């Protein structure tokens, strides 16, 4: 009964963990690496055909984006996720495959000109479609019997519609262990979705640490504040441009705007126009506007039960075609434009920025985290001008940054989540955080007396023996390995060194005679090699 770490180890993307029990292999998430974590998405660190089951915590691409690659490489098992996650995965994986195809086409054109080898897409829309055949939708709270000695249960993680934390109960050779995977843990008081729910018992826990070093800003009255920016901008004759993630954040915004309209908060422009300009956001909005039974929070259910639609209101327009999108730039009527990508790195938002940033009467409103090095971060940091489509565009528009909106729990939320365990887990593995954050959060948990550890990529743990079999490879060295040849042997030595520290910990409480002997042997090794 082993656990292997195949992604999001001291990183924030590419979530993937593998359980081996009774000869079966179960993946928990199969995410794509993105941004600065991206190393080699082409390679799966295991044979796809050897995987029997995949349990998906939620639909975000950094947790699910390699599923079509898995299928392309011969996976024929079962994929379990909540019904809502399955629905969202259909649109998100198709969109991801579309991006892969477009990128490959672009590279192919470039490489043909230079005579280089032609790139294949990571996977195609056909691969994504094939993936859907393996879906097994499940409900929250339902116990799913996967295989002999293996059952699973999903509960609401409060991070994205349909998101889950997953508990697995594993029995091998009459020994039973319970392991909980947190998935991404949600923030409190988000619209539409519920607050995170908790597990209370586990032998092992694998938990995320994205904001393990951060406290979210208190949001006073977000709706009121947003309404004020809208009213001022529209009254000046400007547009409000909002870069937003297509799935989740966009629908939260629509929920807030419906509330604004109902409460007449945009006093001088009560009938303002709202355009959602992103094909993926449009598809996601249709899902959020559909049946939310079992997924929505109390307030949303009440709105639906009284015969209203939580994210729909007069003057809401969804743009699908490029022509509709382009027409927005010709039309001079002041309006709110919500478009993606959320960090302004790609997509239609870049066109809207080009047409609105230089206009002093317009506003750009950020409603999500802007990673280092992105156009969004540059704008938030007060860039005087930016480059868009090869053109210099001066920033005259007002830039607003609403930092309180987050889908992730902050440090307090994470500590609360782990403190809900009534027993003390044998070990807590800290994943899904940048190296410094994961290490810092691990240290914090240890101070609380929790046996926490932040594993490296490809580390392997024996869940019955409660010890590491392999310490894995540090993510940072994987990145440098590409550039530095000849360091593989040194990395191996480092791994063995880490293993040694683990073995020392396991010997705590041993007899004085054994400990003395162990120390003497180590000392002689050290004296031999310290040259």
CB 328 within 8 Å of CB 337 = yes
- Residues recorded for the chain: 531
- Is residue 486 packed enough to be buried (19+ CB in 10 Å), middle (13-18) or exposed (0-12)? exposed
Kindly determine how many residues on this chain lie close enough to bind Zn ion according to the rule CB under 5 A.
Answer: 2
* 240-243/78-82 β-pairing: unpaired
Only one of the segments 179-187, 291-299, 348-356, 370-378 lies at the binding site for Zn ion (rule: CB under 5 A); that segment is 179-187
Torsional sign, CA 128, 133, 136, 137: positive
Q: What is the largest CA-CA distance in the chain?
A: 85
Residues 275-314 that bind Zn ion (CB under 5 A): none
Closer CB to Zn ion, 9 or 184, in the complex: 184
Among 11, 167, 184, 208, which residue interacts with Zn ion (rule: CB under 5 A)? 184
Distance of closest approach, residue 408 Cβ to Zn ion, in angstroms? 7
Q: Give the containing element (helix H, strand E) for 452.
A: strand 452-453
Q: Which residues pair with residue 385 across a beta bridge?
A: 394
Task: Answer yes or no whether residue 427 interacts with Zn ion by CB under 5 A.
Answer: no
Only one of the segments 58-66, 146-154, 271-279, 482-490 lies at the binding site for Zn ion (rule: CB under 5 A); that segment is 58-66
* 460-462/452-453 β-pairing: unpaired
507's tokens: 């010997």
Closer CB to Zn ion, 127 or 184, in the complex: 184
Torsional sign, CA 99, 104, 109, 113: positive
User: Is cis: bond before 182, omega within 30 of 0?
Assistant: no
Only one of the segments 165-173, 183-191, 341-349, 503-511 lies at the binding site for Zn ion (rule: CB under 5 A); that segment is 183-191
Only one of the segments 180-188, 339-347, 364-372, 379-387 lies at the binding site for Zn ion (rule: CB under 5 A); that segment is 180-188
Q: Which residues pair with residue 338 across a beta bridge?
A: 242, 276
CB 162 within 8 Å of CB 292 = no
Distance of closest approach, residue 59 Cβ to Zn ion, in angstroms? 8
Closer CB to Zn ion, 190 or 325, in the complex: 190
Distance of closest approach, residue 451 Cβ to Zn ion, in angstroms? 26
Residue 129 CB neighbours (<10 A): 15
Task: Answer yes or no whether residue 60 interacts with Zn ion by CB under 5 A.
Answer: yes
Closer CB to Zn ion, 7 or 77, in the complex: 7
Only one of the segments 30-38, 59-67, 86-94, 381-389 lies at the binding site for Zn ion (rule: CB under 5 A); that segment is 59-67
Closer CB to Zn ion, 20 or 156, in the complex: 156
CA-based Rg of the chain, rounded to a whole angstrom? 25
Closer CB to Zn ion, 56 or 328, in the complex: 56
Mark 132-171 with x for binding to Zn ion (rule: CB under 5 A) and - for no binding. Answer: ----------------------------------------
- Give the footprint of Zn ion on this chain (CB under 5 A): 60, 184
């Amino acid at each position: 009964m082993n656990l292997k770490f195949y992604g999001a180890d001291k990183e924030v993307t590419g979530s993937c963990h593998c359980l081996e029990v009774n000869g079966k292999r179960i993946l928990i998430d199969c995410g794509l690496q993105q941004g600065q974590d991206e190393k080699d998405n082409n390679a799966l660190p295991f044979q796809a055909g050897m995987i029997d089951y995949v349990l998906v915590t939620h639909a975000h691409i950094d947790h699910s984006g390699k599923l079509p690659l898995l299928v392309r490489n011969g996976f024929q098992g079962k994929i379990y996720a909540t019904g809502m996650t399955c629905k969202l995965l259909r649109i998100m994986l198709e969109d991801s495959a579309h991006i892969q195809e477009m990128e490959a086409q672009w590279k192919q054109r470039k490489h043909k000109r230079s005579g280089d080898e032609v790139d294949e897409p990571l996977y195609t829309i056909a691969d994504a479609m094939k993936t859907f055949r393996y879906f097994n939708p499940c409900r929250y709270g339902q116990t799913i019997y996967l295989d002999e000695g293996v059952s699973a249960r999903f509960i609401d993680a409060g991070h994205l519609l349909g998101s889950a934390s997953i508990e697995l109960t594993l029995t091998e050779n009459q020994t039973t262990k319970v392991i909980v995977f947190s998935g991404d843990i949600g923030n409190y008081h988000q619209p539409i979705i519920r607050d995170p729910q908790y597990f209370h018992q586990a032998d092992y826990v694998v938990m995320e640490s994205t904001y393990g070093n951060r406290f979210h800003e208190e949001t006073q009255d977000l709706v009121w504040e947003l309404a004020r920016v809208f009213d001022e901008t529209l009254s000046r004759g400007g547009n409000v441009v909002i870069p937003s993630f297509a799935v989740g954040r966009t629908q939260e915004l629509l929920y807030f705007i419906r509330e604004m309209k109902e409460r007449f908060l945009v006093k001088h422009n009560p009938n303002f126009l709202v355009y959602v300009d992103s094909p993926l956001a449009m598809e996601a909005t249709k899902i959020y506007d559909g049946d939310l039974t079992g997924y929505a929070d109390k307030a949303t259910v009440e709105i639906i039960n009284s015969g209203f639609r939580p994210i729909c209101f007069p003057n809401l327009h969804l743009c699908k075609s490029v022509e509709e999108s382009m027409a927005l730039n010709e039309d001079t009527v002041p309006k709110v434009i919500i478009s993606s990508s959320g960090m302004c790195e790609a997509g239609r938002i870049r066109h809207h920025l080009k047409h609105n940033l230089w206009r002093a009467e317009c506003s750009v409103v950020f409603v999500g985290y802007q990673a280092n090095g992105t156009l969004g971060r540059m704008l938030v940091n007060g860039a005087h001008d930016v480059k868009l489509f090869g053109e210099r565009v001066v920033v005259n528009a007002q830039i607003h940054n609403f930092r309180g909106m987050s889908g992730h729990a902050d440090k307090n939320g994470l500590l609360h989540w782990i403190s809900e365990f009534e027993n003390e887990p044998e070990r807590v593995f800290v994943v899904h955080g940048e190296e410094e954050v994961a290490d810092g959060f691990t240290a914090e948990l240890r101070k609380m007396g929790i046996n926490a550890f932040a594993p490296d990529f490809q580390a392997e743990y024996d869940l019955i023996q409660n010890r590491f079999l392999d310490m894995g490879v540090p993510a940072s060295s994987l990145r440098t390995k590409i550039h530095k040849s000849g360091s593989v042997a040194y990395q191996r030595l480092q791994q063995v060194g880490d293993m040694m520290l683990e073995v020392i910990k396991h010997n705590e409480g041993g007899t004085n005679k054994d400990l003395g002997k162990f120390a003497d042997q180590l000392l002689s090794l050290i004296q031999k090699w310290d040259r």
